[in-house]
Amino acid sequence: MCELGERLRRAREEKGLSLKEAAARLALKAKVLEALEACRFEELPEPALARGYLRRYALLLGLDPEPLLALYPRAPTPTPPPPPAFRRSFPWPLLLALVLLSALGYGAYLFLRPAPVQTLSLPPEPSPEPPERYGLRVVSEPPGARVYLDGFYLGQTPLVSPPLEGGRRLLRLELPGYEPVVEEVNLDRDLSLRYRLVPKPSPLPAPSNPQAEASAGRLVLRLEGRSWLRVTQGEKRLYEGIPEVGAELAFDLPVEVRSGNPGAVRVFLDGKDLGPMGEPGKPLTRRFEAP
């Protein structure tokens, strides 16, 4: 995998997004994003359109698109064909005949062509002015809430975003254990917003006991936070997606597990609690063998 695809894949997994979720937010087909991450540029449309897809994908993932665009291969410049070689004996009589025929044809055209029609030229339409952009600052109590604007992830609170296109926008804040905040804001000036998040009225039901359910040769994964997961057994893909917080997934060994946020995944192997799969926010792949 090339450097461009590796950066895109790593950023997507760190944000806990699957290919289908990212494609749905960008209104694109998942195979377009898959081709970008796999650097299969021959499967993408013309370079100008593909580079536009790459720019939108980078902004969705919170990356600077310019360094990634620099890694995208440019179309080769066609080499002009070499000038034809002249023969030693040039057919001058044929050239003279062609010149005479061209002169006669042009004279006939001037004689037979209709009179030109005068058209009224309209003044060019003025180009639309670029939309105004404004800054957005979002603070929450407690901090660490994920901030989305019109469905696009901006970051976590406290957040200071770059200038954004003005207008009426839909703001959403999410934090595990708290009610989400959804509000329409009018971004007609620089805004500074502060929210106090409300805990959910009733906690999630206590999960079942993985130690009691697990048997020899079984792996149980308990989601204590949001994390993208992919579980494979050889060439077979058993699961890929973002489970609900509090969900438990059980698999027969051996399996290979890829997590975008290993700190949110607690591992139970043969009924034994092995603790979190890894460190929070650092994508990790682990293989679990049968005893």
Span(s) in the chain for CATH 1.10.260.40: 3-71
13 Cβ contact list (under 8 Å, min separation 6): 228, 258, 260, 283
Mean pLDDT of the chain: 83
| pLDDT higher at 217 or 272 | 272
Most confident of 1-15, 61-75, 220-234: 220-234
What Cα–Cα distance (Å) separates residue 107 from each residue in 93, 94, 181? 21, 20, 78
The 10s digit of each residue's pLDDT in 31-79 is 888 888 888 888 888 888 888 888 998 899 888 888 888 888 876 544 5
Cα 138 to Cα 173: distance, rounded to the nearest angstrom = 10
- The confidence score (pLDDT) of residue 86 equals 45
Which stretches of the chain are assigned E, i.e. beta strand?
133-141, 146-149, 152-156, 159-165, 167-174, 181-187, 191-196, 218-223, 229-233, 236-241, 248-252, 255-259, 265-269, 272-276, 284-288
* pLDDT band with cut points at 50, 70 and 90 for residue 192: very high
Cα 227 to Cα 257: distance, rounded to the nearest angstrom = 12
Question: Which residue type does 64 have?
Answer: D
Query: What is the number of residues in the chain?
Result: 291
* pLDDT band with cut points at 50, 70 and 90 for residue 206: very low
Q: What is the DSSP letter of 286?
A: E
Buried b / exposed e along 186-207 (16+ C-beta atoms within 10 A): ebeeebebebebeeeeeeeeee
Could you tell me how far CA 36 lies from the centroid of its own chain? 9
CATH homologous superfamily of 3-71 equals: lambda repressor-like DNA-binding domains (1.10.260.40)
Cα 245 to Cα 242: distance, rounded to the nearest angstrom = 9
Cα 159 to Cα 219: distance, rounded to the nearest angstrom = 38
CATH of 133-196, one of 3.40.30.10, 2.60.40.1120, 3.30.60.50, 3.20.20.150: 2.60.40.1120
- The confidence score (pLDDT) of residue 240 equals 92
The 10s digit of each residue's pLDDT in 109-135 is 777 776 665 555 566 666 667 778 999
The 10s digit of each residue's pLDDT in 236-259 is 999 999 999 999 999 999 999 999
CB 16 within 8 A of CB 10: no
Identify which of 38, 78, 36, 84 has the alpha carbon closest to the alpha carbon of residue 56.
Answer: 36
Span(s) in the chain for CATH 2.60.40.1120: 133-196
